[in-house]
Structure 1
Amino acid sequence: MTRRNVASASLDNENQGRVGIVAGSGSLPLALAMTLRARGEMPYLLLIKDEADPQHYAAFPHETIRITKVGKFLKALARENCRRITLVGPVRRPDLKNLVPDFEGIKLLARITGASRKGDDGLMTAIAAYLKDKGFIVVGVHELASDLLAPAGQLGKIAAKGQDHEDITTGVRIVKAIGSLDIGQAAIIRDGYVLAVEAAEGTDGLLARSAAFAWEKPAGVLVKLSKPGQDLRADMPTIGPDTISGVIAANLRGIAVEAGLTLVIDIAEIVRRADAAGIFVIGLDAKSPE
């Protein structure tokens, strides 16, 4: 990028206001905040109570708010001049019976209750639409920090071999099928056998469940893709160093994700752990992942 382009991008960012990060659990919100800070932007973080740990965000301006206190969210975002908003990190579906929402929260819950019948994608789309109606620009992590996206090709020193490619092809077909039903984003294929598919437990839970089938010989692939038509502003496939630990525990040979459509947290550490364990990591062509 030229100096003129950098200056133009900075001006565009200023015109769009500060980035507000609504942070759930996991390490992705912090990775995004650090990426933005490294390029000269200081985001404001709204930490969802009981999801994001405030101790991890001590170096950033932030506050903790209950998920149902939507009015406080809106006031904080306006006060901090956060026009661009991104929803980052998993959030457990709230128990509607035990919620005490504020007035704005009641309006949002009405949308969420209807959207929940359509699965997690419907839920996140409803939240994004609500924020948009309030005048905010809802953006995805991939729009703010493209350097966190998985590159195409082999990421480390370890290459996939023979049966691995067949398992990847099978995995892509299976994940597309479960994704179209809004079931999950991942599956584990071992020597042509569908060992497990992701459901409500997420990828870490999928790997933990599959560890019970960790045979002596390393084999099998974790395949993770975006769902067809998925709203990437609110939910995007993500892997990190912990994913490698889960793959090791499940005695798999590797991971295949969509290049450009999967967030990779700390790629250097992922590659280091994968190479040390003899695990391959591949970024598949998003247009034709087979």
Structure 2
Amino acid sequence: MNPDGPIAILAGSGQLPIQLVKHLERVGRDYRILAFRGFAAPELRRQAHASADLLDLKTIMSVLDGWRPQAVSLVGAVRRPGFSALLGAYSLLRNRQEVMEVIARGDDQVLRGAVMLLEERGHRVVGAHELAPGLVAPSSLRGAREAGADDRQAIAVGLDLLNSLSAFDIGQAAIVAREHVLAIEGPEGTDRMLRRVRGMRQSWFGLRRSKEGGVLIKAAKRGQDLRVDMPTIGPKTVQEAARAGLSGIAVGAGSTLVLEQEETLATADRLGLFLVAVDLPWMEPPHE
């Protein structure tokens, strides 16, 4: 670790890497971007100081050795690599039995393995929430609309569900209407889950029926390392929730990133959805 070095951003897809770069520019912090090919947005690829395939560990480590960063942050979504690709990437560093055990435990364990690898090479790994704490949803976050009684019931059911699912390392989000679970997030991500519910609610002619309600609950898993794969929403999430006919969105306070918070809240208000941060019983309440 070099205390005078830049922040190294290992960038996947989505708006989070872009928003983090903008924040670092605003506060005048030096940074370097390593964009993952096939994932990073075109806007970020044009700014990137280097590019690499997701599992090209030799190039990634060589670039980081050259930059000598003070910290490394893995931000943005990436699709889960196939089994053979993972074996090839880890074969020089871990034995096959260890790789199989990591893969069997789920995506979060794979990400933890990446953090462990970086730390073994002497790099300090930090989360986007540590670099840009203003992106984190405070307990006071809420839009103009209030959640109704059915919505509050759905939030409670959703939180219980996500807490129970934490042990299985699947998903950070669910859609619940009263006590009815409509969908659980899988590898496809939140936006595609919302589109799946939207499709379920369409008529034979492709027209959405009248607004049916329901809540998107998005929160960190119990025991999740917030330095990687931190739950994130933004204006696009609100738009997809509205198209799916939902009543609103609840996010975990202190453990969810809300990109472009003012625009996200304004979008929720304009589209008639409530947006609220809730304390998670399995995490310490955020300090405000």
TM-score by length of 1: 0.87
Measure how far apart 1:155 and its partner are. Answer: 2.3
**How far has the Cα of 1:213 moved from its partner?**
3.3
Aligned-pair identity in percent equals 35
SS where residue 138 of structure 1 aligns? coil
**Change beyond 3 A, Cα 1:85–1:105:** farther
Deviation of the 1:69 alpha carbon: 1.9
Of stretches 92-101 and 210-219 in structure 1, the one that deviates more from structure 2 is: 92-101
> How big is each residue's C-alpha offset from its partner over 1:50-108, in whole Å with a ceiling of 9 and x where there is no partner?
111343343x4521111222121112112222131111111112234468968x87437
Q: How does 1:7-22 map to 2 (within 5 A)?
A: 15=3, 17-22=5-10
Residue in 2 aligned with 1:5?
Answer: none
Give the alignment of 1:33-112 within 5 angstroms: 33-58=21-46, 60-97=47-84, 106-107=92-93, 112=99
**2:178 matched to 1:191?**
yes
Does the 8 Å CA contact 1:47/1:54 hold for their aligned counterparts? no
The alpha-carbon deviation at position 241 of structure 1 amounts to: 1.2
- Deviations along 1:109-129, one digit per CA (max 9) or x if unpaired, are 966544111101110000100
Mapping for residues 144-183 of structure 1, pairs under 5 Å:
144-183=131-170
Matching residue of 2:271: 277
Deviates more, 1:192-201 or 1:60-69: 60-69
Offset at residue 15 of structure 1 (A): 2.2
Q: Return the alpha-carbon distance in structure 2 between the equivalents of residues 209 and 228 of structure 1.
A: 26
Query: SS of the residue aligned with 1:20?
Result: strand
- List gaps (5 residues or longer) in structure 1: 1-12
Task: Compute the displacement of 1:264 (Å).
Answer: 0.8
**What is the aligned partner in structure 2 of residue 32 from structure 1?**
20
2:70 match: secondary structure: strand
Unaligned stretches of 5+ in structure 2? 202-208, 284-288
> What is the letter of the counterpart of residue 155 of structure 1?
R
How far the C-alpha of 1:217 sits from its partner, in A, is: 2.8
Pair 1:252-2:239 in alignment? no
Mapped contact 1:51–1:91 kept (Cα < 8 A): yes
Q: Is the 8 A contact 2:222 2:282 kept in 1?
A: no
Q: 8 Å contact 2:2–2:68 — kept in the other structure?
A: no
More off after superposition, 107-116 vs 274-283: 107-116
2:35 and 2:48 in contact (8 A); partners too: no
The letter for the 1-side match of 2:262 is A
Letter in 1 for 2:158: G
Pairing partner for 2:229 from 227, 235, 248: 235
Asked whether the 8 Å contact 1:239–1:263 carries over to 2, the reply is yes
Distance in 2 (alpha carbons) for counterparts of 1:105 and 1:241: 41
Distance (whole Å) between structure 1 residues aligned to residue 266 and residue 163 of structure 2: 29
State the Cα RMSD in Å: 2.4
1:226 matched to 2:220? The reply is yes
User: What is residue 132 of structure 1 aligned with on the other side?
Assistant: 119
Q: Distance in 2 between matches of 1:205 and 1:126?
A: 26
SS at match of 2:122: coil
* Whole-Å separation in 1 of the counterparts to 2:219 and 2:88: 34
- Structure 2 residue aligned with 1:266: 260
Instruction: Indicate if the aligned counterparts of 2:198 and 2:245 stay in contact, CA closer than 8 A.
Output: yes
Aligned length: 275
